[in-house]
Amino acid sequence: MSRLSCWAAQGATLATPPRVDAGNGVLVGEPLELGHDATRNSDAFAGQTDGDPDAKEDEVVLPAMGSVKPMKGEGLMHCHPKGSGAATSGAHSGGRRSKRSTSIGDRGEEFARDHLRKILSPEEAETIKWRADKGEMPGWDIDYRSGGQLFAVAVKSTVGPSFLSIELTANEWRAAQRLGANYRLALVADVASTSPRIGCLDDPFKRVTAGAASVEPVAFKFELRNAES
């Protein structure tokens, strides 16, 4: 598991990175009007119960889809000055894989899929595949094809208003490296409300190599092996 954080130069204005055409009419830094890997690491505010004092930690009440109106989101991920040490402060640990985080992740992915159906051409919309819903783990949640190319979307959702950082599985990070500009992070904030906000970060790997973001391991897999005979 790795954590992706957005960086800004010390003393610089924390603004959206310059918009660059990444193909298919989508701009890097431009919020994408769309709406996790199957681990569903989506609940950025552990223990939050959305104002219901009787709600259990693993319960979240989601409004009916018919009552929800997703909105275009701006500034859904905070940038931190380089060297501030703030990138991980207050960020979620990634250790919770509860029923709550699963339902939140599913809802965010549903927003993303439904809105892709609206903004893509009929031909492109026909190619949309919700991989995570089928239990598939290619390193993203949703994909579609345009101009003969595969475009992959990893959806990250939170009940909160924004993200301090985003956790990516090793599989997701490898896919981001391989697909480059064809790999996108769809960020869904306020996902349990009737007005969730949705934005997009294109090409996270390029952002890291350009120094506009950082990635660091936050979990390791430990296994015992049989001693050699």
What's the CA dihedral at 134, 36, 187, 93 to 10 degrees? Answer: 160
pTM of the model: 0.66
Query: What distance, in Å, lies between the first and last C-alpha atoms of the chain?
Result: 33
At 73 the pLDDT is 65
* CA 98/CA 93 separation, integer angstroms: 13
DSSP lists the bridge partners of residue 142 as 130, 153
Residues in the chain: 229
Q: Is 4 within 8 Å of 87 (Cβ atoms)?
A: no
Percent of the chain with pLDDT over 90: 37
Q: Is 181 within 8 Å of 173 (Cβ atoms)?
A: no
Helix (H/G/I), strand (E/B), else coil: 80: strand
- What residue segments make up the domains of the chain, in order of their start? 2-48+56-217
* 93 confidence band (pLDDT: 50, 70, 90): very low
User: Which H or E run contains 144?
Assistant: strand 142-146
* 2 confidence band (pLDDT: 50, 70, 90): confident
- Specify the residue for token string 């992070």: 185
Question: What mean pLDDT is reported for the chain?
Answer: 73
Is pLDDT at 23 greater than 50 in this prediction?
A: no
